Amino acid sequence: MRSKIVKAIPAPMANSLRTTRDALKLAAAYPESRLHPWRRDSIQKLNALKDTHCGERCFIIGNGPSLKNTDLTKLKGEFTFGLNRFYLAFPELGFSSSLLLTINDLVTEQCAQDIRALPIPTFVSWRGHRWIAPAANLHYLYTSYELPKFATNAAGRLWEGATVTYVAMQLAFHMGFKQVILIGVDHSFATQGKPNTTVVSGGDDPNHFNPAYFGKGFRWQLPDLETSEVAYTMAREAYKVAGREIIDATVGGKLTIFPKVDYESLF
């Protein structure tokens, strides 16, 4: 019955109602997201990071299978954003990414112990404070699913855009990077199904660089590639307006939003 009522509402009115609902939800979350002592500490840390890398380049490392065909040793000495469980690559690499970012609740909950043990700067969604307590190297980001936007100041609200990669783009902008280079952002998944559905892995993970990434028994959400493309387009335009750029050096990647470059040509 509810779905029939929703379908009967004219699209402009339905969109207005959704926007109002989302705005009210964010308004309710605002006090804690700004005034909680743990968030206030993170806001100070994030403010201190503002424009600290002006004019520099960085690499945002997705976790697609293409990383197996990418010479990651070339990244030693580069500023790198590791996402979600990229830390699984650290032992083989012999070095770590410059920071580690995760916003997904399922990843944060199931990997809290691993994330907490990392000695590098770590960034998690404010929701993650349920599983990860404050630490000197920890930053809580206020991220949300509601009201799409591209934030140039990571101390405020960041739209998630259905992918941690989009949040990394906003954080990189906040830090002042002029050029962002994507690798491992394959933008394709072997596992199919309704976007955002929570599933439980039944065995080795075919969607990431490591079969144990979302290994047997791990709970994860199916990707929403359509929403992420909307987000990536917003990021591309925000960088362009600011005289900056995002380029895609993913080996064999399916994403078509950003200009493609050959990975080896960057070194």
More confident residue, 2 or 87: 87
Band (220; pLDDT cuts 50, 70, 90): very high
Question: Domain spanning 36-266 has what CATH number?
Answer: 3.90.1480
User: Tell me, what's the pLDDT at 33?
Assistant: 80
Domain boundaries, the chain: 36-266
User: Tell me, what's the pLDDT at 253?
Assistant: 96
Band (205; pLDDT cuts 50, 70, 90): very high
Round to whole Å and give the CA distance between 144 and 156. Answer: 11
Round to whole Å and give the CA distance between 130 and 97. Answer: 25
Share of the chain above pLDDT 90, in %: 87
Residue type, 258: F
List helix spans (H) across the chain. Answer: 2-8, 11-35, 37-49, 90-93, 105-110, 112-117, 164-174, 225-241
Say which range, 26-30, 105-109, 188-192, 195-199, has the weakest mean pLDDT. 26-30
Q: Which tokens sit at 187? A: 């933008």
Contact 58, 163 (CB under 8 A): no
Band (195; pLDDT cuts 50, 70, 90): very high
Band (1; pLDDT cuts 50, 70, 90): low
User: Tell me, what's the pLDDT at 121?
Assistant: 98
Round to whole Å and give the CA distance between 32 and 28. Answer: 9
Band (14; pLDDT cuts 50, 70, 90): very low
